[in-house]
Amino acid sequence: MASSINFLGSYSGIDSATVDSLIEAESGKLVQYTNKQASLTSEKNAWKDINTRLNSLYEKLGSLQEDAAFQSRTVTSSDTSKLTISVKTDAQLGNYSVQVNRLATATTMTSGTIPSASGKTVKEALGLDGTFSITNQDYDLTKPEENAFSIDIKAEDSLKDIVGKINEQTKVSGVQAKIIDQKIILTDTKMGDRTFTVGGDLAGKLGLDSTAEGEIKPTVVAGHSAELVVDGITIERNTNNIEDVIEGVTLTLKGISETEKPMTVTVAEDTDKTIKAIQSVVDQYNSVLSFVGDQLDVGDPSAESNKTGVLVGDSTLVRLETGLRSLMTANVNNGNTSIKNMSDLGITVDRDGKATLDSAKLKEALAKDPTAVKKLFFSSEKTEKIDEEETTVATEKENGMTQKMRSLINSYITDKTGIIATKSDTYDQQIKDINTSIASFNERLEKKKANYIAMFTRLDTAMMQAESQMSYLASQFSSSSNNK
């Protein structure tokens, strides 16, 4: 099959370059489409960035609605090698004198040396066959099925196997086991002056029967409670982690105090943590307002190459900006007269919307009345109203700055139904429509190009035929003239 020959422009001078120029001249609409597509994509991405910044502000505002943000505590111990402290947010403030006289210990029972054939390994079978049992003072005679601490030993069991079987029963027996120098050491899992006994036909052979005759006998060391003196009051507890002496404070005893040298525990307000949380909100607020301002910036309209923000003139974004700035400066109806707005805490907003925190003034307000500071950020007012059915309905009105600002932000960032999500869907649809228009336009251009090529090819063909006919006629005239 012969291939087609393209001789476009051979006679007319209208070649493929000319056709491309004609198509390019008609593709101005395509440029408008792609420019609009790029503009919509930039706007969508700008809103996406705004959503991320708003979400971060929403989370930081939420931290100011927690008691921990305004009731933080710092705690110090004058000797952490002997006493460490942890506190809850409601810990009592003050200085406490603590003298540790005795640490709590657990009762232990150490067997005599248990010989194996070689006497060198705890993994060697002992050749013992029988049972032994462990009974601690919590044993309930009325519920023997829940206190089955009997342990079966087989001839092939080694010392390590036996200790493993004991520890498998620890949850019910309350006794742990370990091996040191071919000896079993049993330890009560609870501290204090407690007892446990070992019985059964193998107790003596394992060196755990204090009544057995012979050389393998256990050594029992009774446990005892911890003793400490807090502000002159002597206290005993069966643990070294004491949570019920100072409200909200856990004392962890690690060593005995020097005689007549009590340690000092200080519990104080941690205002630095609160200030840091509020500063974090201020910084994120500024980040949001700065970015929003950039998107709405009209630039310099008089400049020849003026550059504006991506979302300049967007009324939805203007409302967001206005709402955030208004909430940052508005008075809060929280029933407190001493702290009514953010400026009372040292937070001021300039004409551009940028907020600044005076940490010294905030620290002073926190020291004076931390509850009032919290109420500025988070407070609710319960009210009642009568509905259409004349039923009393209880409602709760949120008055705090963080509550109102989070409510505003939530209307923008809520998934699927939020303002930004709705805008994003609209952008997607518009971009999709433009893509469809671009595809259709390109198809039309391709068809028009094909038509141009076909038309100019026909012109070249006609011109070629005309030239051929002219040559034929000329040859005929020349032949006729020569014959005369």
What's the per-residue H, E or C state across 104-158? CCCCEEECCCCCCCCCCCCCCECCCCEEEEEEECCCCCCCHHHCCCCEEECCCCE
φ, ψ dihedrals at 252, nearest 5°: -110, 110
| pLDDT for the residue numbered 116 | 67
Task: Return the closest-CA partner of residue 109 out of 260, 214, 220, 247.
Answer: 220
Is this prediction's pTM over 0.75?
Answer: no
Secondary element (H or E) of residue 219: strand 219-221
| pLDDT for the residue numbered 58 | 96
| pLDDT for the residue numbered 294 | 93
Q: Are 14 and 456 in contact (CB under 8 A)?
A: yes
Q: Are 100 and 251 in contact (CB under 8 A)?
A: no
Dihedral class, residue 476 (left if φ above 0, else alpha if ψ from -120 to 50, else beta):
alpha
Instruction: Give the residue, 353 or 476, on which the prediction is more confident.
Output: 353
Convert the pLDDT of each residue in 355-369 to its tens digit. 999 999 999 888 888
What is the rounded average pLDDT for all residues in the chain?
A: 84
| pLDDT for the residue numbered 142 | 63
Average pLDDT over residues 301-305: 83
Q: What is the percent of the chain where pLDDT is above 90?
A: 44
Helix, strand, or coil (residue 73): strand
Q: Which long-range contacts (CB under 8 A, 24 or more apart) does 325-333 make?
A: 325/289, 325/349, 325/353, 327/401, 327/404, 327/405, 327/408, 328/285, 328/353, 328/355, 328/401, 328/405, 330/401, 332/375, 332/376, 332/379, 332/399, 332/400, 332/401, 333/381, 333/399
Map tokens 């190009």 to a residue: 449
Q: Residue 131's CB: how many other CB atoms inside 10 A?
A: 13
| pLDDT for the residue numbered 260 | 81
Structure tokens belonging to residue 378:
């988070």
Q: Cα(99)–Cα(292) distance, rounded to whole angstroms?
A: 59
| pLDDT for the residue numbered 2 | 41
Domains in the chain with CATH codes: 30-67+272-299+308-421 (no CATH), 73-104+226-269 (no CATH), 108-221 (3.30.70)
| pLDDT for the residue numbered 9 | 54
Q: Are 299 and 306 in contact (CB under 8 A)?
A: yes
Instruction: Give the residue, 107 or 304, on which the prediction is more confident.
Output: 107
Convert the pLDDT of each residue in 209-258 to its tens digit. 877 665 567 899 999 999 999 999 999 999 999 999 998 899 999 999 98
Average pLDDT over residues 108-129: 80
| pLDDT for the residue numbered 5 | 47
Q: Are 246 and 95 in contact (CB under 8 A)?
A: no
Q: Cα(35)–Cα(311) distance, rounded to whole angstroms?
A: 15
Q: Cα(301)–Cα(295) distance, rounded to whole angstroms?
A: 15
Average pLDDT over residues 266-294: 92
Instruction: Please state, in angstroms and as integers, the Cα–Cα distance from residue 74 to each residue in 33, 86, 106, following that order.
Output: 62, 9, 32
Q: Cα(93)–Cα(147) distance, rounded to whole angstroms?
A: 45
| pLDDT for the residue numbered 421 | 94
| pLDDT for the residue numbered 4 | 44
Instruction: Please state, in angstroms and as integers, the Cα–Cα distance from residue 9 to each residue in 20, 80, 446, following that order.
Output: 13, 96, 19
Residue 440 banded pLDDT, cuts 50, 70, 90: confident
Q: Which long-range contacts (CB under 8 A, 24 or more apart) does 316-322 make?
A: 316/419, 316/423, 317/50, 317/292, 320/50, 320/292, 320/408, 320/412, 321/289, 321/292, 321/293, 321/296, 321/353
Q: What is the percent of the chain where pLDDT is above 70?
A: 83
Angle between helices 401-413 and 315-329 (to 10 degrees): 170
Helix, strand, or coil (residue 37): helix
Q: Are 260 and 85 in contact (CB under 8 A)?
A: no
Residue 3 banded pLDDT, cuts 50, 70, 90: very low
Convert the pLDDT of each residue in 52-83 to its tens digit. 999 999 999 999 988 777 777 888 899 999 99
